[in-house]
């Protein structure tokens, strides 16, 4: 069976299991990159082929290595499931430990400076959705006027895997909604995708451009980090933050937001040396 036919079948399978378009595209891209750089059909790759491919990329971060390793693991498990392949070469490679995520929230002063920067209105709305609702880039890209429920003070977020969740609406976002379409995409594609919404990459690029013009460090995802971290620092229960950030488990929330600086500083300041001496 040719590489293209096999990968096409895998793509259909992933759509059937409701994987996101971004995940599917990335998984297929990684397989194509593997084949282009090794000259080996990924359906018939051996452990040594994979190890040598890893060795070509010393520049990979631990996170990238973990992600690509997991993509290949999923690929070979699917090949076995479809009886296309009997063995799984990833078994001989062992496991790659998932690196712990550390929070990278935008600093408060930087966020203020960012919002004072001149930008297109729709880019400002993207930033507000990330900052005041914790939306991911793909969630921002797919946002519609129908997702706003102003009378009830809530908004609908279409998350990973097609999951839908209503979350409380921040007053600033409620006011912002008055300036956006009541129906249809808030961020329609102007040229490349007529009738469709912009891509996740387009949202990320638009926000990154504003950071760059403002001469500030940061990008779209640290705005979501700011949302989660600020909720925790404000005293919100971690289960509440989990629901607001739409994480599948509280473990994800703990890894995502980390232990906040304010809480660590408060804990240290409570140390009483005089009482210990007494």
What CATH number corresponds to the domain at position 69?
Answer: 1.10.150
Maximum distance among all Cα pairs of the chain, rounded to whole angstroms = 79
Catalytic residue among 68, 71, 227, 256: 256
Residue tagged active-site, from 85, 136, 142, 246: 136
Query: Does residue 275 belong to any structural domain of this protein?
Result: no
Task: Give me the catalytic one of 124, 197, 224, 246.
Answer: 224
The reply to whether 71 belongs to the active site is no
Query: Per residue in 158-191, pLDDT tens?
Result: 877 678 899 999 999 999 999 999 999 999 997 7
Mind listing the pLDDT tens digit for each residue in 42-89? 999 999 999 999 999 999 988 899 999 999 999 999 999 999 999 999
Residue 231's domain comprises 108-265
Nearest to 226 by CA among 269, 258, 193: 258
Q: Is residue 277 over pLDDT 70?
A: no
- Do 67 and 124 sit in the same domain of this protein? no
Q: Which one from 101, 104, 160, 170 is the annotated catalytic residue? A: 160
Higher pLDDT residue, 101 or 268?
268
256 tagged catalytic: yes
Does the active-site annotation cover 136?
yes
**Separation between Cα atoms, residue 203 and residue 211, nearest integer Å:** 13
pLDDT at 261 over 80: no
User: Both 78 and 159 in a single domain?
Assistant: no
pTM, to two decimals: 0.72
Mean pLDDT for all residues in the chain: 88
pLDDT at 90: 95
Residue where a domain terminates, one of 93, 124, 150: 93
Backbone angles phi, psi at 108, to 5 degrees: -55, -45
Q: How many domains does the chain have?
A: 2
Same domain for 149 and 257, yes or no, is yes
Residue 158: name the closest of 128, 127, 131, 135 by CA: 135
In a domain, 99, yes or no: no
What CA–CA distance (Å, rounded) separates 230 from 171? Answer: 17
Check if 122 is active-site. no
15 part of the active site: no
Instruction: Verify whether residue 85 is a known catalytic residue.
Output: no
Instruction: Show which of 35, 65, 93 is a domain's final residue.
Output: 93
Considering the domain boundaries, does residue 272 fall inside one?
no
């Amino acid at each position: 069976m040719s590489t293209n036919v096999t990968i096409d079948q895998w793509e259909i399978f992933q759509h059937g299991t409701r994987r996101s378009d971004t995940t599917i595209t990335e998984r297929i891209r990684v397989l194509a990159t593997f084949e282009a750089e090794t000259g080996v059909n990924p359906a018939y790759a051996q452990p040594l082929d994979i190890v040598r491919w890893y060795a070509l990329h010393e520049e990979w971060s631990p996170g990238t290595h973990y992600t690509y390793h997991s993509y290949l693991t999923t690929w070979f498990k699917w090949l076995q499931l479809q009886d296309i392949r009997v063995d799984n070469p990833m078994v001989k490679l062992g496991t790659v430990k998932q690196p712990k995520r550390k929070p990278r929230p935008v600093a408060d002063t930087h966020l203020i400076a960012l919002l004072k920067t001149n930008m297109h209105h729709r880019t400002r709305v993207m930033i507000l959705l990330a900052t005041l609702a914790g939306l991911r880039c793909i969630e921002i890209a797919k946002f519609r006027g129908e997702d706003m429920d102003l009378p009830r003070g809530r908004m609908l977020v279409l998350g990973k895997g097609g999951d839908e969740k209503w979350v409380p609406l921040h007053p600033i976002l409620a006011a912002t909604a008055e300036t956006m379409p009541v129906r249809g995409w808030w961020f329609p594609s102007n040229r490349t995708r007529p009738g469709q919404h912009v891509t996740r990459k387009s949202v990320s690029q638009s926000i990154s451009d504003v950071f760059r013009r403002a001469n500030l460090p940061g990008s779209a995802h640290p705005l979501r980090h700011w949302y989660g971290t600020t909720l925790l620092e404000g005293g919100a229960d971690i289960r509440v933050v989990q629901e607001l950030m739409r994480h599948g488990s509280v473990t994800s929330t703990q890894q995502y937001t980390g232990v906040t600086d304010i809480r660590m500083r408060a804990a240290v300041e409570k140390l009483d040396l005089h009482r210990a001496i007494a």
